């Protein structure tokens, strides 16, 4: 590492310290002004052609989901493939898949914030946006899985003419609270973080309409000292509030399975294993969308540096290995526990008719991320992209394996059955990717993709101590 | 970029918040009042093909419900009487046989086609209900159908919602009465204390134990 700031730093740092220098968070000695103007220009400039092309592709795909959900409601739940014994199938698989993806956003924004990991600043905004969009896709599934979606308000503890009160001992109900809290807190956190940047954009706007819209969105932010003090405190509190959520949401999702008495689900390892899996899948998705964004806006390379990608790959490697450990531990416990039903469940998973799903899961989640032990793979964008795609697929397979293969073998051999998705299942799921990417494209176009003021704060010139610890 | 928004807009968020709170409470209150069976069902009184009056037949003539609703004691379903029952009194040459109001009854008797009465009380198919169980355990028609004896045209007097069923199932002592008074619409305990005392005694003696588990009614 050798660039301009080194002259100043070399006078202050001892030789030993110089060797463990961290790579800079912003490359090419970009100035504060450059950061503001570059990030704002993405929003201000004319809509690029690639954007129109992509949204023309993704928005029709996104429409599939609402249309097919209308078809589902008007025709009946039979249009989905789930049926006895596999009553939870793709709907719950996709729910857990999407909600898991959301976890990277909160982890980056809350836990990395509290632990003062400065590298989070250039990716947190996009990761949080991704979280929200993933939770939107996730939320659709349980909502429609209840069957009569217009009765979904039964899930909320409101007094009603049926005198029905929620069963607070049911993890399915905790799920409702966990996911809705998560969504609310994530949206608050994301929006609070956006306010100063929205004000920046407002101040740079040229047309009246834009000024008006961004002016309202900025909620009257003037950047006064007092506002900053309140802001910092609010942000810190929200970070504190969302930190437990990173762990709780997916733990609660795992309780849906773990508190049942079904062999293959009834395991205490589920909560930590689900949380690790969620972070694993979430980071893979962050990479899946950040790498193309970075390719489309080349200057982002200065803020989302190879070192950022490297760090995210390390997180994937760590959580992927935890997940791999959990898979093996599940098998070990099935064998060691000597419960014939448990053994049978896992034997069936690995060698039954769903062996291909189990094998894909093992390959994508456990084996493929191991390439990240090599620095070369962590810095090669193509390799990173390919592995993160594998991880995305692998995490979907994991949920499918857990849900469908377990239910396919009911207790009574007479009620064993297989799950076959219908075309409605398939296209509804494809549609959620459309929703996700469409929302993300809109986000890139209309909101500052990078948290400008936080990135400015990690520039060397923003440090009053010139790199000296105290 | 100074003062892009006029000064009055400073208070706008507050005003909006107040308005939204008021509207929100209004909507919730409105739904609570207008969208529950207490409002949507109670008072439902469709036009019947024959202006049959329970007030005349029950109150004035003193007829027993079971003369017409003859299976209410022995079956789950309480039947609507057939035309034969009316013809017992309103047959040719008997009471008001040529009254125009009774024309559909005579018509039905001649053709053999039933009178198309419009059904009033109706539970959804997923809820199980049984008349005999209630009537034989000291629950009066009055508790569920109101003052039928005073109705010149029957209307729905109670919401028949699940909350309403449970209100009694959780505390049947508030409604139980002596077997002899089940079909007597004019019998009322003098005070609530008296009702409870009596109800508790019956509940104990007859071992009344209405289901409050889901499977009791959703079988």
Across the interface, whether the CB atoms of A202 and B163 are under 8 A apart is answered no
Query: What backbone torsions phi and psi does residue B157 show, to the nearest 5 degrees?
Result: -95, -25
d(CA A315, CA A276): 10
Chain A residues with CB-CB distance to B38 below 8 A = 161
Chain B residues with CB-CB distance to A204 below 8 A = none
Q: Does B162 touch chain A (CB under 8 A)?
A: yes
pLDDT for the residue numbered B169: 95
Which of A109-123, A224-238, B148-162, B198-212 comes out lowest in average pLDDT?
Answer: A109-123
ipTM associated with this complex:
0.74
pLDDT for the residue numbered A119: 85
For A161, the closest of B4, B10, B37 (CB atoms) is B37
Interface test with A, best of B33, B162, B165 (most A CBs within 10 A): B162
pLDDT for the residue numbered A138: 93
Band the pLDDT of B203: cuts 50, 70, 90. Answer: very high
Q: Is the pLDDT of residue A467 over 60?
A: no
Extract the tokens encoding A23. Answer: 């790579």
pLDDT for the residue numbered B126: 93
For A163, the closest of B1, B5, B163 (CB atoms) is B163
Residue A119 sits at the vertex; the CA angle it makes with A118 and A121, to the nearest 5 degrees, is: 80
Q: Does B81 touch chain A (CB under 8 A)?
A: no
Report helix, strand and coil shares of chain A as percent, to nearest 5: 75, 0, 25
Q: What's the mean pLDDT in B72-97?
A: 92
Chain A residues with CB-CB distance to B39 below 8 A = none
pLDDT for the residue numbered A4: 44
d(CA B65, CA B46): 21
| A-contacting residues in B 36-65 (Cβ below 8 Å) | 36-38
Q: What's the mean pLDDT in A234-255?
A: 90
Interface test with B, best of A163, A206, A216 (most B CBs within 10 A): A163
- In the block, residue with structure tokens 């200057």: A299
Q: Is the pLDDT of residue A185 over 60?
A: yes
Q: Is the pLDDT of residue A6 over 50?
A: no
Percentage of chain A with pLDDT > 70? Answer: 94
Q: pLDDT tens digits for A340-381?
A: 989 999 999 999 999 999 999 999 999 999 999 999 989 899
Across the interface, whether the CB atoms of A163 and B166 are under 8 A apart is answered yes
Across the interface, whether the CB atoms of A161 and B166 are under 8 A apart is answered no
Q: Is the peptide bond before A85 cis (omega within 30 degrees of 0)?
A: yes
Across the interface, whether the CB atoms of A160 and B163 are under 8 A apart is answered yes
Across the interface, whether the CB atoms of B5 and A215 are under 8 A apart is answered yes
State whether residue A40 is helix, strand or coil: helix
Interface test with A, best of B2, B5, B123 (most A CBs within 10 A): B5
Across the interface, whether the CB atoms of A202 and B166 are under 8 A apart is answered no
Q: pLDDT tens digits for A378-435?
A: 989 999 999 999 999 999 999 999 999 999 988 888 889 899 999 999 999 999 999 9
Across the interface, whether the CB atoms of A160 and B1 are under 8 A apart is answered no
- In the block, residue with structure tokens 């899961």: A361
DSSP for residue A26: S
Rounded to a whole number of angstroms, the distance from the CA of B198 to the nearest CA of chain A is 27
Interface of A with B (CB under 8 A): 160-164, 202-203, 211-212, 215, 220
Band the pLDDT of A145: cuts 50, 70, 90. Answer: very high
Across the interface, whether the CB atoms of B163 and A203 are under 8 A apart is answered no
For B1, the closest of A161, A203, A212 (CB atoms) is A203
Rounded to a whole number of angstroms, the distance from the CA of A461 to the nearest CA of chain B is 27
Band the pLDDT of B170: cuts 50, 70, 90. Answer: very high
Query: What backbone torsions phi and psi does residue B136 show, to the nearest 5 degrees?
Result: -80, 0
Q: Is the pLDDT of residue B181 over 80?
A: yes
Q: Is the pLDDT of residue A461 over 80?
A: no
pLDDT for the residue numbered B94: 87
Q: Does B159 touch chain A (CB under 8 A)?
A: yes
Q: Is the pLDDT of residue B32 over 90?
A: no
For B36, the closest of A161, A164, A215 (CB atoms) is A161
Extract the tokens encoding A85. Answer: 């014994």
Q: pLDDT tens digits for A8-26?
A: 555 566 655 555 667 778 8
Q: Is the pLDDT of residue A466 over 70?
A: no
Across the interface, whether the CB atoms of B161 and A202 are under 8 A apart is answered no
Q: What's the mean pLDDT in A332-337?
A: 92
Rounded to a whole number of angstroms, the distance from the CA of B58 to the nearest CA of chain A is 32
Q: pLDDT tens digits for B115-148?
A: 999 999 999 999 999 999 999 999 999 999 999 9
Q: Does B5 touch chain A (CB under 8 A)?
A: yes
Q: How far apart are the first and last CA of chain B?
A: 68
Percentage of chain B with pLDDT > 90? Answer: 82
Interface test with A, best of B2, B3, B4 (most A CBs within 10 A): B4
Q: Closest-CA residue in chain B for A165?
A: B163
Q: pLDDT tens digits for A96-135?
A: 999 999 887 888 888 888 888 888 888 888 899 999 999 9
d(CA B150, CA B59): 7
Chain A residues with CB-CB distance to B1 below 8 A = 202-203, 211
Q: pLDDT tens digits for A64-107?
A: 999 999 999 999 989 999 888 898 999 999 999 999 998 878 88
d(CA A271, CA A249): 10
pLDDT for the residue numbered A458: 82
Q: Give the contacts of A22 (CB within 8 A, at least 6 positions apart).
A: none
Q: pLDDT tens digits for A380-394?
A: 999 999 999 999 999
Cα–Cα separations (whole angstroms), residue A205 to A37, A200, A218, A454: 12, 9, 13, 21
d(CA B35, CA B22): 19
Percentage of chain A with pLDDT > 90? Answer: 53
pLDDT for the residue numbered A8: 52
């Amino acid at each position: 590492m050798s660039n301009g700031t080194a002259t100043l730093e070399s006078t202050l740092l001892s030789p030993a310290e110089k060797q463990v220098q961290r790579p800079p968070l912003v490359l090419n000695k970009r100035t504060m002004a450059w950061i503001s103007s570059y990030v704002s220009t993405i929003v201000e400039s004319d809509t690029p052609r690639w954007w129109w092309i992509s949204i023309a592709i993704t928005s029709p795909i996104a429409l599939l989901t609402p249309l097919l959900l209308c078809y589902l409601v008007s025709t009946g739940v039979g249009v989905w493939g789930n049926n006895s014994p596999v009553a939870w199938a793709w709907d719950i698989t996709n729910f857990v898949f999407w909600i898991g993806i959301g976890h990277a956003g909160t982890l980056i924004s809350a836990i990395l914030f509290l632990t003062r990991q400065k590298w989070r600043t250039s990716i947190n905004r996009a990761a949080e946006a991704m979280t929200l969009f993933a939770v939107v896709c996730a939320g659709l599934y349980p909502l429609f899985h209840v069957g009569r979606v217009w009765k979904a308000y039964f899930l909320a503890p409101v007094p009603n003419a049926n005198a029905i009160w929620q069963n607070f001992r049911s993890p399915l109900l905790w799920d409702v609270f966990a996911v809705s809290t998560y969504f609310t807190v994530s949206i608050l956190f994301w929006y609070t973080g956006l306010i100063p940047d929205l004000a920046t954009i407002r101040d740079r706007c040229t047309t009246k309409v834009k000024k008006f819209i961004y002016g309202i969105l900025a909620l009257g932010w003037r950047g006064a000292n007092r506002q900053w003090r309140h802001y910092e405190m609010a942000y810190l509190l929200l970070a504190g509030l969302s930190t437990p959520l990173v762990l709780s949401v997916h733990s609660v999702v795992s309780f849906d399975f773990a508190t049942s008495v079904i062999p293959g689900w009834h395991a205490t390892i589920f909560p930590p294993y689900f949380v690790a899996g969620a972070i694993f899948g979430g980071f893979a998705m962050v990479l899946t969308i950040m790498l193309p964004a970075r390719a489309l806006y080349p200057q982002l390379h200065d803020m989302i540096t190879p070192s950022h990608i490297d760090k995210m790959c390390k997180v994937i490697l760590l959580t992927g290995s935890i997940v791999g450990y959990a898979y093996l531990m599940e098998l070990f416990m099935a064998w060691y526990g000597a419960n014939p039903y448990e053994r049978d469940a896992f034997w069936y998973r690995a060698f039954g008719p769903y062996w291909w799903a189990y094998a894909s899961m093992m390959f994508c989640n456990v084996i493929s991320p191991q390439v990240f032990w090599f620095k070369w793979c962590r810095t090669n964008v193509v390799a990173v992209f390919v592995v993160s795609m594998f991880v995305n697929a692998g995490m979907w397979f994991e949920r499918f394996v857990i849900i469908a293969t377990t239910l396919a073998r009911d207790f009574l051999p007479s009620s064993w059955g297989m799950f076959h998705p219908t075309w409605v299942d398939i296209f509804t799921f494809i549609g959620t990717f459309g929703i996700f990417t469409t929302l993300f494209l809109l986000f890139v176009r209309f909101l500052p993709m990078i948290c400008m003021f936080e990135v400015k704060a990690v520039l060397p010139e923003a440090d009053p101590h010139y790199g000296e610890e105290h | 970029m100074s003062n892009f928004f006029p000064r009055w807009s400073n208070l706008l968020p507050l005003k909006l918040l107040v308005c939204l709170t008021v509207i929100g409470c209004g909507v919730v209150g409105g739904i609570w009042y207008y969208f529950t069976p207490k409002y949507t069902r109670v008072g439902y009184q469709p036009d019947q093909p024959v202006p049959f009056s329970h007030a005349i037949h029950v109150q004035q003539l003193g007829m027993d419900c079971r003369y017409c609703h003859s299976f209410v004691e022995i079956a789950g379903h309480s039947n609507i009487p057939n035309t034969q029952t009316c013809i017992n009194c309103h047959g040719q040459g008997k009471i008001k046989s040529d009254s125009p109001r009774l024309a559909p009854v005579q018509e039905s008797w001649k053709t053999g086609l039933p009178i198309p009465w419009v059904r009033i009380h109706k539970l959804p198919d997923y809820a199980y209900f049984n008349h005999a169980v209630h009537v034989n355990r000291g629950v009066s028609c009055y508790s569920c159908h109101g003052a039928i004896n005073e109705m010149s045209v029957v209307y729905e007097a109670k919401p028949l919602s699940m909350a309403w069923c449970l209100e009694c199932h959780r505390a049947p002592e508030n409604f139980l009465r002596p077997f002899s008074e089940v079909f007597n619409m004019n019998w009322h305990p003098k005070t609530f204390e008296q009702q409870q005392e009596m109800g508790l005694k019956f509940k104990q003696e007859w071992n009344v134990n209405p289901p409050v588990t889901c499977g009791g009614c959703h079988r």
